[in-house]
Amino acid sequence: MIELPNTPSFRLDGKRAFVTGATSGIGLGCAVALAEQGAFVTLVARNKTNLAATAAAFKLKNLECEILPLDISDVAAVEAELNARGAYNILVNCAGLARHSPATQTSYEDFDAVMGLNLRGAYFLTRAIAKKLIAEGLSGSLINMSSQMGHVGGVDRAVYCASKHAVEGFTKAMAVEFGPDNIRINTICPTFIRTPLGEQTLKNPKALKWVTDKIKLGRIGEVDDIMGAVIYLASDASALVTGTALLVDGGWTAD
């Protein structure tokens, strides 16, 4: 008799997830996806009013969550908060910032703001989550929301591309370092998604044509295009996946 293999579970029951940028766009979609698979989700964002409204919506769907007002760019506050809490099995860092301009016109302020959140904030958040897992002897799956622009370049996007290429770099290095502790670290790299951040570009007809011409599937991404990807990377279905980038880009980077 042939013994059939068992499909790994995508369920996240009993897992604790820390999701930043959780009140809108991709972050909200990821938080919902994890909660629907059974995770207890800590919703993290700066705006207390939006957090409360998001938590109320979760409770209407019987999804387990709590809220945590926190600015990820304030690395000292982030580390203090995480040091005071139990370990999180899952991190999904969706907090991000884009300030586009020609490279010749990049201001010091814009450079520091983008790097402060997209790189510095992401780095020390990921490190803090990992340190707590190691201290408690637990495994985990840590996911940073990168971008297709972490693999290619784009006009007026030198600073944003730099920040996301750097995220890809530290993700690989941390995967090597924390692998022996059974902590996996990966990125998800979306193309343009219809979110408040994405609409900054998509509302421009010329830019919209540029985007749709580059996406081989011929359409703009939606938040639910990312939700399946985050469940996969957070769950045991991806137990041998670390130090890699999951491109959800409609084929943008295929050529």
Which residues does the annotation mark as catalytic? Answer: 160
Task: Report residue 184 as tokens.
Answer: 């996996």
Burial (CB count <10 Å: 0-12, 13-18, 19+), residue 28: buried
* Ramachandran bin of 66, using left for φ above 0, alpha for ψ from -120 to 50, beta for the remaining angles: beta
Instruction: Please count the other Cβ atoms lying within 10 Å of the Cβ belonging to residue 5.
Output: 5
- In degrees and rounded to multiples of 5, residue 49 shows phi and psi of -65, -45
Sequence-ordered strand ranges (E) for 75-171: 90-93, 140-145
Q: Compute CA distances 31 → 43, 200, 242, 243, whole Å.
A: 7, 23, 21, 22
